[in-house]
Amino acid sequence: MSSSPAPGASPSPLSSIPDSIRDLFLPPGFPDSVTPDYLPYQLWSLPTHVTGHLSHSLATSSLLTAVGVSTSPAATVALSASIKWIIKDGVGALGRFIVGSRFSAEFDEDPRRWRLVAELLSTAGLGLEVATSLYPQSFMLLASAGKFGQALGKGMGKPVFRVIQTHFARSQNVGAVAAKEEVWEVAAQMVGLMASVAVLRTLEGSAG
């Protein structure tokens, strides 16, 4: 997959990376098979994936604390939590419906802008869910608003990302580009999950 630099040309920064790592994260034929901004995009997106998974873990912990999982009898908690989760997810579904019916025509015009908007909405939604542990009396309001924000972000992000992937696939290799995107996201997920465990243990220790 790697190619030798032309005589007199400076070696690529990627030339020192083992082929096995390059093959894992980059599409076949890189860099000729994708646009020049493919790798910078992935590198800039990586921190958002890591913090996204970290935020999701913190939000889940806060949601469970807010509905009383750690203090209430199991049966009562299960019933109450199920009802609240159904309502919360229903509000989220409404958000995706609004995005699909209202904004579909705009996504092709400026996909990168809409991808940023999607990330901001998702992060704001997670922030509202984290706030449920601070204000459990407002659980339904905060959790539903948080889910709505995340659903808006997801509804925007998925179609916009397909446009971005098509842009990167210079050799009509959308499948390869999409497959490598999964590798980038899983790698970020693992880092985010490890960071989540460390943060939650720190919070648990400080609470004790």
Average pLDDT taken over every residue of the chain: 81
Confidence category of residue 149, pLDDT binned at 50, 70, 90: very high
Residues 6+ apart with CB under 8 A from 89: 147
* 3-state SS, residue 34: strand
Confidence category of residue 97, pLDDT binned at 50, 70, 90: confident
Number of helices (H), then strands (E), in the chain: 6, 0
- pLDDT exceeds 80 at position 123: yes
Strand partners for 169? 34
At 167, the amino acid letter reads H
At 115, the amino acid letter reads R
Q: Which of 43, 19, 45, 46 is nearest to 30 (CA)?
A: 19
Could you state, in order of their start, the residue ranges of all structural domains in the chain?
Answer: 36-199
Q: What angle do CA 96, 99, 102 make, to 5 degrees?
A: 145
Give the DSSP letter string of 57-82.
HHHHHHHHHHTTTTTS-HHHHHHHHH
Under 8 Å between Cβ of 162 and 25? no
- pLDDT exceeds 50 at position 154: yes
Strand partners for 34? 169
Which one is predicted more confidently, 74 or 108?
A: 108
For tokens 């901004």, the residue is 37
Q: How confident is the model over 60-66, as a mean pLDDT? A: 72
Instruction: Count Cβ neighbours within 10 Å for each residue of 19-36 and write b for 16 or more, e otherwise.
Output: eeeeeeebbeebeebbee
pTM assigned to the model? 0.63
Q: What is the pLDDT of residue 75?
A: 46
CA distances from residue 194 to 25, 43, 52, 123, 181 in whole angstroms, order as listed: 20, 19, 13, 19, 20
Q: What is the pLDDT of residue 73?
A: 58
Q: Which of 90, 88, 101 is nearest to 159 (CA)?
A: 101
Q: How confident is the model over 186-201, as a mean pLDDT? A: 88
